[in-house]
Copies of this chain bind each other. A is one copy, B any other.
Amino acid sequence: MRIGICAPSAPFPRELVAPMQAVAAGFPGVELLFHDQCFLSAGHFAGTDEQRLNALLDCANDPGIDAVWFARGGYGSNRIAEAAVTFLSKEADNKVFLGSSDGGYLLGALYKAGIGRPVHAPMPLDIKRERGEEAIARVLGWLTGAPDTLEGNLDGDPAVAFNLTTLAMMAGTRLMPDLRDHVVMVEEVSEYLYAVDRLFFHLVQVLGPMQIAGLRLGRVSDVPENDRPFGTDAIGIAREWCARATIPFLGRADIGHDHANRIVPFGRMRRFENNRKPEDARP
């Protein structure tokens, strides 16, 4: 199991490579390959758009790699998502793409294009969190067949999971996948409740006509204190906008910007099956 790690958004701190490798050492046969681009810096981003795109293509088009893992969020993957789906080769189809937060633009664009298997999952930068090793181990566990790594509410319906801002900003663009019949899970961090309300206002206008199976709300954490209380909480907000758009509100989801963030493979997939044949793949 060879996992290629690139950074489509912001740079990854080099000092976190060793702690990552320490967790991976507990998973025999798992190899983490950090692309050098992870450590580049160009203003806000982990290198220029071109550098970030090329690193993603390097990982995704490499027949010797099984999984592509986005090192972290932090903004920027939207800027290369259209180009990525244009230039990804057939090799990408056999891979899983793992990420969350800002990485959702790529997951969504890949899902729309039918390329590979996008998976909402913790990311390498999560190792910085308290109990962050658990988040990392959850991803490596899912990739190697461990049970109890999935979000607990997954049922027969196809599912997706996104950061709320990411999904709202994607909704209405060419990147947005058709989510008909899907359970849509969203989570948020560090946004005022009025901003959460505003994001739902926008999002349900797009999700409503798609006739999704329903919406689940993950954790909405680190809400800044405003000069006055909003008047309801995040569940109240989600419930109200779902009602306005006649979207079934299905309750909570076990995802969020925290170490407990669980895995949501997009679509109907639940377990990772490795299709790569090592003897073919390494000529």
- Chain A interface residues (CB < 8 Å from chain B): 41-45, 75-76, 78-79, 165, 168-174, 193-194, 197-199, 201-202, 205-206, 226, 228-232
Minimum Cβ distance to chain B for residue A270 (Å):
32
User: When the two chains form their complex, are residues A43 and B169 in contact, meaning their CB atoms are under 8 A apart?
Assistant: no
CB-defined A-B contacts under 8 Å, sample of 24: A42-B231, A43-B228, A43-B229, A43-B232, A44-B193, A44-B226, A44-B228, A44-B229, A44-B231, A45-B231, A75-B194, A76-B194, A79-B197, A79-B201, A165-B198, A169-B199, A169-B201, A169-B202, A172-B202, A172-B205, A172-B206, A173-B201, A173-B206, A174-B205
Oligomer copy total:
2
Which residues of the partner chain B approach A193 to less than 8 Å between Cβ atoms?
Answer: 44
Minimum Cβ distance to chain B for residue A204 (Å):
9
User: When the two chains form their complex, are residues A231 and B43 in contact, meaning their CB atoms are under 8 A apart?
Assistant: yes
Contacting A198 at CB < 8 Å: which of B42, B75, B229, B231?
B75
From A76, A228, A230, residue with most partner B Cβ within 10 Å: A228
CA distance A165 to B202 in the complex (A): 11
Which residues of the partner chain B approach A228 to less than 8 Å between Cβ atoms?
Answer: 41, 43-44
* Beyond A44-B194, A76-B194, A169-B198, 14 additional pairs, beta carbon < 8 A: A43-B230, A43-B231, A44-B193, A44-B230, A75-B197, A78-B198, A78-B201, A168-B169, A169-B202, A170-B202, A171-B172, A172-B172, A172-B206, A174-B205
Minimum Cβ distance to chain B for residue A48 (Å):
9
Of chain B, the residue at the smallest CB distance from A230 is B44
Which residues of the partner chain B approach A171 to less than 8 Å between Cβ atoms?
Answer: 172
